[in-house]
Amino acid sequence: MWQEIEQQPEALRATIDWLLPRRDEVARLAADTRQVLLIARGTSDNAAVYGSYLIQAHAGRLASLASPSIATTYKASIDLDGVLAVALSQSGRTAEIVETLEWAKANGARTLAITNGGADSPLAVAADVAFVTQAGIERAVPATKTFTTELAALAVLALALGAPLDPGELRAAPEAISALLAAPLDLTPIVDELAKVPGVVVSGRGMAYSAALELALKLKEACYLHAMGLSYADLLHGPIAVVDADTPAIVMAADSGPTLAGTVDLARRVTGAGARAYGIGGGPALAAACSRALAAPALPEWLAPIGLIVPGQLLTEALARQLGINPDSPRGLSKVTQTD
């Protein structure tokens, strides 16, 4: 897992270089569509949350997450004319996701696949257009480089759909992550404290929400921690009652943007209640409001999740080892999950 975390700058660089020139192809595919349907499970579903926020906030299209069981279990017929269906699967071989994409096409959608499984994977073959990420083989069960390259592919998709954002900022993301990895974070104090608790709440909002969901998943997968990923808006609607001396909060935010102030306020509320708050990203403002904090790569808000998850991955890997768990092979999990 640690080695694959370290490989992310090159995986991102290769993916961005491969996909950015294909924006016009996707623009043509989506020319007569008006909304986006994102189809995924697990880590890919967390990436899809980022895609939903990014496309709605910057490309001006409605984007929503699919419920694959509508296709695979209920076998409902829905008019998807005018929809661009985007299916995400790291392996490209999860039968439920392939079937749902085929269902979307049969119901009138244009289809795009995002996968690391290769151009000959079932998902890529089923799609009108395939975005094949360039992460290389990922051996550890907890996804790292396949997640961040999915985020990069979704950033290219947003640009193809007309988001007025700077592709140069996306091209700069790998170097920002490389700089973070070259100056190792001091994880020990947070790891020592998290090793003593049964659970944690992980929170972010807007673009950062996807990174919070993904970090919570990683802590569950690799550390067997009861980790709950929540938008801070949802957290404040009742679940914040679970945050106490035995259940700290990890709060994540970009260094700028419309959700930063609320994240800082949430951290203050957590510490004010006697609980510990660990910040990831958010610049000096979030660090000052937290018990402890980890810096994230300096990326603009629209790309922040690509950087925010990296300290979370490093934290997860270190915590797993502290707990005596092999993070590469968590119990009960395999690289490709098939849903019954």
* Amino acid residing at 110: R
The answer on 131 and 46 residing in a single domain is yes
Instruction: Answer whether residue 327 is part of any domain.
Output: no
Same domain as 229, residue 111: no
Residue 201: per-residue pLDDT = 94
- Do 157 and 239 belong together in one domain? no
Residue 72, in any domain of the structure: yes
* Cα 23 to Cα 43: distance, rounded to the nearest angstrom: 24
Contacts of 185 (CB under 8 A, 6+ apart): 294, 295, 311, 314
- pLDDT of res. 295: 96
Q: What CATH number is attached to the domain comprising 76?
A: 3.40.50.10490
Note the pTM of the prediction, 2 decimals: 0.96
Determine whether 335 is an active site residue.
Answer: yes
Domain of 263, in residue numbers: 184-322
Q: Over its length of 340 residues, how does the chain's per-residue pLDDT go in tens digits?
A: 999 999 999 999 999 999 999 999 999 999 999 999 999 999 999 999 999 999 999 999 999 999 999 999 999 999 999 999 999 999 999 999 999 999 999 999 999 999 999 999 999 999 999 999 999 999 999 999 999 999 999 999 999 999 999 999 999 999 999 999 999 789 999 999 999 999 999 999 999 999 999 999 999 999 999 999 988 777 776 667 778 888 999 999 999 999 999 999 999 999 988 999 999 999 999 999 999 999 999 999 999 999 999 999 999 999 999 999 999 988 765 555 555 5
Active-site choice (75, 218, 220, 335) = 335
Mark whether 198 and 279 lie in a shared domain: yes
**Both tokens assigned to 87:** 């299916």
Residue 269 within any structural domain of the chain? yes
Are 195 and 172 members of one domain? no
Asked which of 153, 176, 199 is the last residue of a domain, the reply is: 176
Same domain, 231 and 119: no
Say yes or no: 19 and 99 in one domain.
yes
Angle between helix 42-58 and helix 208-223 axes, rounded to 10 deg: 170
Residue 108: how many CB atoms within 10 A of its CB? 13
Tell me if 45 sits within 8 A of 339, measured CB to CB. Answer: no
Of the candidates 301, 284, 257, 340, the one whose C-alpha atom is nearest the C-alpha of residue 54 is 301
Task: Check whether residue 28 and residue 161 sit in a common domain.
Answer: yes
Q: Is 206 helix (H, G, I), strand (E, B) or coil?
A: coil
Query: Are residues 209 and 162 located together in one domain of the fold?
Result: no
Residue 336 lies in a domain: no
Q: Is residue 202 in some structural domain?
A: yes
Say whether both 205 and 105 belong to one domain: no
Q: Where are the alpha helices (DSSP H) in 2-141?
A: 2-6, 8-19, 23-29, 42-58, 68-72, 95-106, 122-126
Residues 157 and 191 in one domain: no
* Count of domains observed in the chain: 2
**Are 233 and 301 members of one domain?**
yes
Confirm if 92 and 45 have CB atoms less than 8 A apart: no
Q: Which of 223, 278, 271, 227 is nearest to 253 (CA)?
A: 278
